Amino acid sequence: INGKKLKGREVREKLDLTSTDFTWVRKGDQIVITTKGYGHGVGMSQYGANFMAKEGKTYDQIVKYYYRGVKISSATAFLNKLTVKK
């Protein structure tokens, strides 16, 4: 916008849109913005994750894309501590 690159979330916040899933079309001297859904701006886009999966991305690639710096590991050790043993 005006020569500056912005992320979808930044545009959403600056324009007070209901979602980062939006399109815009120029009609004459106006720009019409259409949003899809009601995003909270935090977390994983269902549409985006679905698209990535259809492109062949794995679950861990998708999760790490949306949640930078996370470590994915097995919950087995944790669950074993919670399980009551007879």
Q: What is the pLDDT of residues 28-66, one digit of tens each?
A: 999 998 887 766 666 788 888 999 999 999 999 999 998
Q: Are residues 60 and 75 part of one domain?
A: yes
The closest of 10, 13, 34, 12 to 22, measured between CA atoms, is 34
- Looking at the structure, tell me whether residues 47 and 86 fall in a common domain: yes
Is the same domain home to 24 and 48? no
Question: Do 55 and 16 share a structural domain?
Answer: no
- In terms of domains, do 30 and 62 share one? no
- Give the residue from 20, 53, 26, 52 showing the smallest Cα distance to 38: 20
Range of the domain at 54: 43-86
Cα separation, 77 vs 50, in Å, equals 30
Q: For 31, what's the count of Cα atoms within 13 Å in the CB-facing half-sphere?
A: 7
Asked if residue 82 and residue 53 are part of one domain, the reply reads: yes
**Same-domain status, 62 and 37:** no
Q: Provide the domain count of the chain.
A: 2
Tell me the whole-structure pTM to 2 decimals: 0.49
Task: Judge residue 20's burial from the number of C-beta atoms within 10 Å of its C-beta, 0-12 exposed, 13-18 middle, 19 or more buried.
Answer: buried
